[in-house]
Amino acid sequence: MNNLPKTQQVVACHLCDAIFDKPQLKQGQSAKCQRCGSTLVERKVDSINRSYYWSIAGIILLAPAILLPIMGVTLAKQYHNASLLDCILVLIDRGFFMIATLVFLFAIAVPIVRLFGAFYIAISFKYRRLKPSMLNFFRAYHHLDNWAMLNVFMLGIIVSMYKLIDDTELSVNLGLLSLVLWLICTTMASLTLDQDYIWETLEQEFADEDS
Amino acid sequence: MKTARELGLGLCPKCHKVNTMQTEPMQCVRCHGLFYQRNRNSLQYTLAWNIAALLAFIPANLYPIMIIYSLGIGDESTILSGIGQFVDQGLYPIAVIIFTASIIVPLIKIIGLFVLVYKVHTGVRLKPDKHSKIYHILEFLGPWSMLDVFVVALLVAVVELGFVTSVAAGPAINYFTMTVIFTMIAANSFDPRLLWDKKLIEQNGHIENEGR
């Protein structure tokens, strides 16, 4: 173990633990693991700016996506429509607390938290106001990676439209459009965020305090 | 090719920084999070969550997932009978989507994780490159089985026309969400690096034994 590589100069694959020399990448390039083929490091193009603008768009669309009715049904001259928020209120009203909680968490709370998280990270990198609390914040941000299910919810809307279209008169409202756009914005805001770049910048910023 | 473990290094799962492992658990020098070189008791956790998911999957299929009331008369349907209705109506694409999302995907996830745990434990015919791809697919599939839950939630909220028609969720929905969440936690607690470790031990096993 004499030739122990400096931890600064190596990267390890998170799926198979193979060690490689740290590649020097330009924007838009990514390095793949030779052993298992997963992405090792990625430099995203113009990451901070793109994430900033996508998250601003997402925050603007937030209110219409949640409050505007997604779709409505007409049956026997009665009309009823529901927005994402109504959906949860109705579920609570009728006593289905578990699905109400789950839909709230996975389709509203997690996407919102991720959206504002991406916005906060992007804005503090854009204007270079980095605080040490950012370390904890960005670490916590990764916990939510798996739990945003807005895309599944979208497919759920399509399926339930098919279910309803035969028996009832179905009308699609503006809420669906804003929900689709919101889904795109939240996904893009977190996709464009370059994790490796952010961690490296944070490391340089706070390296002095640690040693 | 060296692995981080052989060199006494560990990868922080949060910030992907390579650390020299001095203690276990190690505090990452970059993000200050605690981590282990490998997920702790990974196989046991995966197995336990997996069994829980399998148990919850049984009532999820037996109980009705949705009850449609029209003019006060309730019509119960389970996951399978719901798919059957779509087939009867000739809506094959939707039937296939729901069948995939709510029957095939959870089953594939549960069986797949059982196989992976078994392979890592015994090391029989272990192909790490192939198996880590399988793991990757299982991880990706995770949230998509929530589809049926969201569909029922939407129908309950939208179809609420008082006495004429209304939809209620059945008890199966709780069990089904439990299945989905348990399999997601199971997939998260599985550590794909164990596949490669086991393979390495298999290959170097007898050489080390001869040496000693």
Tens of pLDDT along A14-49? Answer: 777 777 877 777 777 888 887 777 777 888 888 888
The per-residue pLDDT for B55 is 93
Average pLDDT, chain B: 82
- Structural domain contains residue B210: no
The band of B52, judged by pLDDT with boundaries at 50, 70 and 90, is: very high
CB pair distance less than 8 Å for A98 and B177: yes
Residue B189 lies in a domain: yes
B120 in the same domain as B169: yes
Q: Could you tell me if B48 and B69 lie in one domain? A: yes
Q: CA of B206, closest CA in chain A: separation in Å? A: 22
Range of the domain at B1: 1-37
- B68 and B3, same structural domain? no
Q: Which of B150, B158, B196 sits opposite A153 (nearest CB)?
A: B150
Of residues A120, A133, A137, the one with CA closest to residue A189: A120
Contact criterion met (CB < 8 Å) for A7 and B151: no
Write the pLDDT tens digit of every residue in B80-118.
888 888 888 887 888 888 888 888 888 988 998 888 888
Domains of chain A as residue ranges with CATH? 10-42 (no CATH), 47-210 (1.20.140)
Determine the residue among B85, B96, B150, B155 to mutate to test chain A binding: the one whose Cβ has the most chain A Cβ atoms within 10 Å.
B150
**Residue A137 has what pLDDT?**
83
Residues B122 and B192 in one domain: yes
Beta carbons of B211 and A34 less than 8 angstroms apart: no
Interstrand relation of B26-27 and B34-35 (parallel, antiparallel or unpaired) = antiparallel
Cβ contacts of B16 on chain A, cutoff 8 Å: 11-12, 14, 195-196, 199
pLDDT of B51 above 90: yes
Does B56 lie in the same domain as B97?
yes
Average pLDDT, chain A: 81
Total Cβ atoms within 10 A of residue A178: 22
Dihedral-angle region of residue B66 (phi above 0 means left; psi in -120 to 50 means alpha; beta otherwise):
beta
Look at residue B149 and tell me if it is in a domain: yes
Q: Report how many domains make up chain B.
A: 2
Do B25 and B64 fall into the same domain?
Answer: no
Mutate to test the interface with A, among B154, B179, B182, B190 (most CBs of A within 10 A): B154
- Strand-pair partners of B3: A18
Q: Are residues A156 and B165, on separate chains, in Cβ contact within 8 Å?
A: no
Instruction: Supply φ then ψ for residue A39, to 5 degrees.
Output: -75, 125
Task: Provide ipTM, 2 decimals.
Answer: 0.81
Cβ(B26)–Cβ(B34) below 8 Å? yes
Residue B68 near residue B165 (C-beta atoms within 8 A): yes
Contact assignment for B192 to A15 by CB distance below 8 Å: yes
Q: Please tell me the distance from the alpha carbon of residue B42 to that of residue B49, in angstroms, as a whole number.
A: 11
Which residue among A96, A162, A199 sits closest to B17, beta carbon to beta carbon?
A199
Cβ contacts of B96 within 8 Å, gap of 6 or more = none
CATH, residue B70: 1.20.140
Asked if the structure places residue B29 within a domain, the reply is yes
pLDDT at residue number A16 = 77
User: Tokens 């969720």 — which residue?
Assistant: B169
CA distances from A1 to A107, B18, B24, B196 (A): 50, 16, 19, 21
Please check whether residue A94 touches B, CB under 8 A: yes
Kindly report the length of chain A: 211
Chain-chain contact of B143 with A152 (C-beta, under 8 angstroms): yes
A19 and B4 within 8 Å at the Cβ level: the answer is yes
Query: Taking CB atoms and an 8 Å limit, are B20 and A7 in contact across chains?
Result: yes
In this predicted model, what pLDDT tens digit does every residue of B138-166 receive, in sequence order?
888 878 888 888 888 888 888 777 667 77
* Interface contact A153, partner B, CB < 8 A: yes
Do both B33 and B51 map to the same domain? no
Q: Which of B3, B17, B156 sits opposite A19 (nearest CB)?
A: B3
Whether chain A has a CB inside 8 Å of the CB on B160: the answer is yes
Q: Would residue B211 count as lying in a domain?
A: no
pLDDT (average), residues B124-141: 82
Same domain, B24 and B91: no
When pLDDT is averaged across residues A8-12 and rounded to a whole number, the result is 77
pLDDT at residue A102, rounded to an integer: 86
Among residues B111, B108, B114, B131, which one has the least CA distance to residue B198?
B131
- Residue B54's pLDDT band (cuts 50, 70, 90): very high
Please check whether residue B187 lies inside any domain of the structure. yes
* B165/A contact by beta carbon, under 8 A: yes
> Is residue B31 domain-shared with residue B48, that is, in the same domain?
no
In a domain, B72, yes or no: yes
* B16-49 residue pLDDT tens: 777 777 777 777 777 777 788 777 788 889 999 9
Q: In chain A, which residue's Cα lies nearest the Cα of B133? A: A36
Do both B30 and B116 map to the same domain?
no
Whether B131 is in a domain gets the answer yes
pLDDT of residue B210: 41
Identify whether residues B87 and B188 lie together within a single domain: yes
pLDDT tier, B127 (very low <50, low <70, confident <90, very high otherwise): confident
One domain, residues B119 and B28: no
Say if residue A69 is preceded by a cis peptide, omega within 30 of 0: no
